[in-house]
Chains A and B, each alone.
Chain A
Amino acid sequence: MVRGMAKYLVNLPAVTGRRLVIALPLIWLAVFFFLPLIETLQVSFTSARRGIPPYEPLWGIGDDGFFTNFTTGNYALLLQYWSDYFGPAFNSIKLAFFSTLVCLIFAYPMSWWIARSNEKWRTILLVLVMLPFWTSSLLRIYALIGLLNPNGFINAAGLWLGLIDAPIQMMQTDFSIYMGMVLTYLPLMILPLYAVMVRLDADLLDAAADLGGSGMQIFRTIILPLTLPGIIAGSLLVFIPAVGEFVIPALLGGPDQLMMGKVLWTEFFRNRDWPVASAIAMLLLAILTVPIIYARYQDGRDTVAEMPNPKRAEAG
């Protein structure tokens, strides 16, 4: 009895401390991450007004008692001007999809090359991949502009070498957007691919080759299935942020390359229509729900990114 009480008293700070360790981040994230999303949802159902803040409160208690300003008008507006809002949405998905594909085309051989190098070269190449990841993507996109501009480096070099007669329009095209996406997101595709490729058993490939498998056969039946988790993880890491990307279409795209991030930005900062901007944010979230949930589900099963996941802890 006394021993039990002593044990309880000794453990008391530990138990309180434990609660604190959980509660601190939970409360912080609930207040500064979850509540804001609820607030955005609310604002997406109010109407804009002139004033500060530039939207009506969704509900409140005034002189006449409880009142609401609930309206679905912002979503109706998105539907009414279908092509102005859903056009960019489809465009975002299309550009993100092909950016993911282009990243995969470059990242796959790069990761293979890194995974098959000897240890010294592997470190060097990995540092080369990580280095851009640690530098500002804004500055790297800025550097790309210097390359692609009508009077930029590529055009100047092409003219000087006589390869082209007049500057080629590369900026403000799909090409410049894809280049920007590859420049920004390539490391995110390489890292999970590298992680699965480095674990690939070289003996397996040798055995397959000894048994007479052609290069294509070995790739299709062994390499591709074994690296599929890396392909999926990398693709999600690129696709999800690419859909909501703002900086790349804003700096590299033209007026025709509208993407959702840019449309939201314009509604918010230029038109100052915060409710419509909030509705676009909700639309963007709705589009991303499927890949985000799929990413978490994937993470529960395997992959590289160590995301918090209760399933894994239960298994382990």
Chain B
Amino acid sequence: MGRMNGLVLSLGALGFGILYLPIIIMIIFSFNAGKLVSVWSGASLKWYAGLLENDQLLSAFGTSLLIALWAATIATIFGICIAVAFVRFGNFRSRLALSAIASAPLVMPEIVTGLSMLLLFISMESLFGWPSGRGVDTIIIAHATFGMCFAAVVIQARLRDFDMAIEEAAADLGATQPFIFLSITLPVIVLFLSITLPVIAPAVVAAWLLAFTLSFDDLVIASFVSGPGSSTLPIVIFSKVRLGVTPEINALATVMIVVVAVAVIGASWAIRRRLSGRDQNQ
């Protein structure tokens, strides 16, 4: 097996190399005084300074942030509904319909979603006068729509684990039908808010972050459903990149990647610590 291990390691290392080499080179050259991503002409922070003065990029960043905050929040609320319906409601009548319609956006090509959303908004406008034109609100609706399906997937997994644990615990305590008993003595919504929600909170946070990221990074759908004055950050970046390499984008990308890296590493460190803490208690 020695020979195979060598092959596995070298292909694996190459894979990580492909993932990281472009990012690392870009980060290094974001501190380059020159414009090229190949010739080092001295260290400089001038592209970062330029970033702070670039009103177009800054306002697009603000637009994207606003859209992603709203879209992720709507997506998470609806995602909780979908997850609860699938995990807790058994076989309700519209289950098959909801299941099909909540999983199709996961695999739908973005370009089809974007085009069809725009066509809907246009025909709605001619029928009801709403939404009048396209802008931030139509992008939020579009992003919330596919975001809620991803959010539902994340929350569902956690909710299913939780329900199994609760049922086992209840059985251990000799209860046969804990939910029926509880749902008569307490309104279900209070139960959900006081017991279930705190337990599935990590999944809810993860779902919100996923929906936020999907919204913040989306170029294709936003390009279709955006209007004048609602250019998101990816739209502005895309139009700049098409014109050639812009060093300010290097600086911007570095900032964004570092923020995400700190968040992801911090989150996994926190989860690891919590898990090992739980092991020690047992």
| Interfacial residues, chain A to chain B (CB-CB below 8 A) | 7, 10-11, 13-14, 17-18, 21-22, 24-26, 28-30, 32-37, 39-40, 43, 53, 105-110, 112-113, 123, 126-132, 134-140, 142-147, 149, 151-153, 155-157, 179, 182-183, 186-187, 209, 215, 219, 240-241, 243-247, 250-251, 261, 264-265, 268-269, 274, 277-278, 281, 284-285, 288, 292, 295-296, 305-310, 313-314
Contacts and interface: CB of A to CB of B under 8 A. Distances in A.
Given A37-B116, A147-B21, A152-B37, A246 B110 contact: yes
A244 B110 contact: yes
Q: Is chain B's binding surface mostly helix, strand, loop or mixed?
A: helix
B81 A113 contact: no
Given A13-B187, A25-B81, A308 B86 contact: yes
Nearest to B90: A313
Given A26-B98, A307-B153, A18 B89 contact: yes
Given A138-B238, A153-B38, A281-B112, A21 B85 contact: yes
A146 B245 contact: yes
Given A24-B81, A110-B11, A306-B157, A143 B26 contact: yes
Given A26-B97, A30-B101, A288-B109, A134 B264 contact: yes
Nearest to A20: B81
B237 A285 contact: no
Nearest to B141: A32
Contacts of B23: 132, 135, 140, 143
A136 B224 CA distance: 19
B241 interface: yes
A145 B36 CA distance: 12
A281 B142 CA distance: 17
A150 to B, nearest CB: 10
Contacts of B223: 269
Given A26-B94, A30-B101, A134-B213, A251 B12 contact: no
A110 to B, nearest CB: 4
A16 B162 CA distance: 24
A35 B183 CA distance: 37
Interface in B67-113: 78, 81-82, 84-87, 89-92, 94-99, 101-107, 109-113
Given A30-B101, A151-B36, A152-B37, A14 B188 contact: yes
Contact of A152 (B38, B84, B256): B38
B25 to A, nearest CB: 5
A146 B25 contact: yes
A22 B256 contact: no
Nearest to A52: B122
A281 B257 contact: no
- Complex A-B, nearest 4 residue pairs according to Cβ-Cβ distance, in ascending order: A244-B109, A156-B38, A36-B116, A146-B37
B18 A186 contact: yes
Interface stretch (B41-49, B52-60, B214-222): B214-222
B260 A33 contact: no
A137 B126 CA distance: 35
Contacts of B21: 147
Contacts of B78: 24-25, 28
B50 to A, nearest CB: 17
Nearest to B154: A306
B115 interface: yes
Given A26-B94, A134-B264, A308-B98, A261 B109 contact: yes
A153 B25 contact: yes
A113 B12 contact: yes
Nearest to A219: B4
Given A24-B78, A32-B117, 8 more contacts: A37-B116, A110-B15, A131-B265, A139-B253, A186-B15, A209-B1, A261-B220, A281-B111
Contacts of B149: 29
Nearest to A299: B103
Nearest to A30: B101
B107 A110 contact: no
Contacts of A183: 18-19, 22
B25 A143 contact: yes
Which residue, A25, A39, A129, A309, has most C-beta atoms of chain B within 10 A? A25
B230 interface: no
Contact of A240 (B37, B107, B111, B261): B107
B157 A123 contact: no
B195 interface: no
A18 B109 CA distance: 32
A310 B91 contact: yes
B98 A147 contact: no
Contacts of A310: 91, 95-96, 99
A25 B110 contact: no
A174 to B, nearest CB: 16
Contacts of B204: none
B278 interface: no
B105 A131 contact: no
B89 A22 contact: yes
A167 to B, nearest CB: 10
B14 interface: yes
A106 B15 contact: yes
Nearest to A295: B107
A308 B99 contact: yes
A151 B38 contact: yes
A305 B107 CA distance: 12
